[in-house]
Amino acid sequence: MTDSQRRGTLALVGGDEFQGSPELDSELLAAADGEVLVLPTAAAYERPGLAVERAEGWFAALGGRVRPCMVLSRPDAEDRALAEMVAGARFLYLAGGSPLHLRSVLKDSLVLDALVGAWRNGAVVAGSSAGAMALTDPMVDPRGGAFTVGLGLVRNVAVVPHASGELTPQLRRTLSLAPAGCALAALGGGSAVVREPDGSWRSSGASIEIYVDGVPSGLESLAGKPVE
């Protein structure tokens, strides 16, 4: 990785965005000069404006400010003005909702290219719940716990959000279907795994379990995973 492509921080959050992780969000804001661009794409059919309102109140309390980026459909993802907004952001936050809709809107789009470019040039990228699921490849399919294609900012990693800390039947199925060597991060609401600009990983929050080949592992299993 060249200095000109020193990727920014990547935070994969297990859900409860804009309410459950003030320490992490404060750190991310500080790294991005206090402004966050919120993409409520995954919530397109679940009152996306409300997701933006929650973000505005949350980040204002942390001393930050929010700009909404209403990429809700495939035509939006190919809109050059919206892509330019994403390209110029220093902190991008993908809110929760439907990971399948998020992926279908952003995959191979101008907006995704802009997001990847911003990240490669040091922007912070965070995704919560559906946002975290879709940023990886493979992506866990929420309909049954199997795997499908994700957006692939980081590869050979997958996320199960809203994890309870217990081996539920669906989590067991997901573990049994995981590709060999894939690190599966089961994250509770407000908990996250965070990739730093130097490529190291750290945890934030208490409810984090990582599995590789069905066996409990640790953060070291995320080290060296390929990135976009």
Say what the pTM is: 0.95
Helix 110-120 with 99-106: angle, nearest 10 deg? 90
- The whole-angstrom separation of Cα 148 and Cα 141 is 6
Please report the pLDDT score of residue 20 as a whole number.
Answer: 74
Q: Which residues contact 172 (CB under 8 A, 6 or more apart)?
A: none
Residue 6 in this model has a pLDDT that exceeds 90: no
- The whole-angstrom separation of Cα 190 and Cα 131 is 13
Residue 119 in this model has a pLDDT that exceeds 70: yes
- Written in H, E and C, the secondary structure of 77-136 is HCCHHHHHHHHCCCEEEECCCCHHHHHHHHCCCHHHHHHHHHHHCCCEEEEECHHHHHHE
Helix 110-120 with 80-87: angle, nearest 10 deg? 10
Please report the pLDDT score of residue 4 as a whole number.
Answer: 42
> What's the average model confidence in pLDDT over 111-133?
98
- The whole-angstrom separation of Cα 211 and Cα 178 is 10
Residue 5 in this model has a pLDDT that exceeds 80: no
Q: With cut-offs at 50, 70 and 90, classify the pLDDT of residue 84.
A: very high
Q: Which domains does the chain have, with CATH numbers?
A: 3-222 (3.40.50.880)
N-term to C-term CA, the chain: 11
Please report the pLDDT score of residue 34 as a whole number.
Answer: 94
Centroid of chain to Cα 155: 13
The residues with which 227 forms a beta bridge, in sequence order, are 154
Residue 76 in this model has a pLDDT that exceeds 90: yes
Q: Which residues contact 186 (CB under 8 A, 6 or more apart)?
A: 14, 160, 163, 165, 171, 208, 209, 210, 211
Residue 174 in this model has a pLDDT that exceeds 80: yes
- The whole-angstrom separation of Cα 18 and Cα 169 is 29
Q: Which residues contact 15 (CB under 8 A, 6 or more apart)?
A: 96, 128, 129, 161, 162, 187, 188, 189, 190
Q: With cut-offs at 50, 70 and 90, classify the pLDDT of residue 21.
A: confident
> What's the average model confidence in pLDDT over 142-151?
95
Residue 2 in this model has a pLDDT that exceeds 60: no
Residue 213 CB: number of other CB atoms within 10 A? 14
Which candidate, 69, 156, 138, 139, places its Cα nearest to that of 99?
A: 139
The position carrying tokens 């470019």 is: 117
Q: With cut-offs at 50, 70 and 90, classify the pLDDT of residue 3.
A: very low
> What's the average model confidence in pLDDT over 34-59?
97
Residue 23 in this model has a pLDDT that exceeds 60: yes
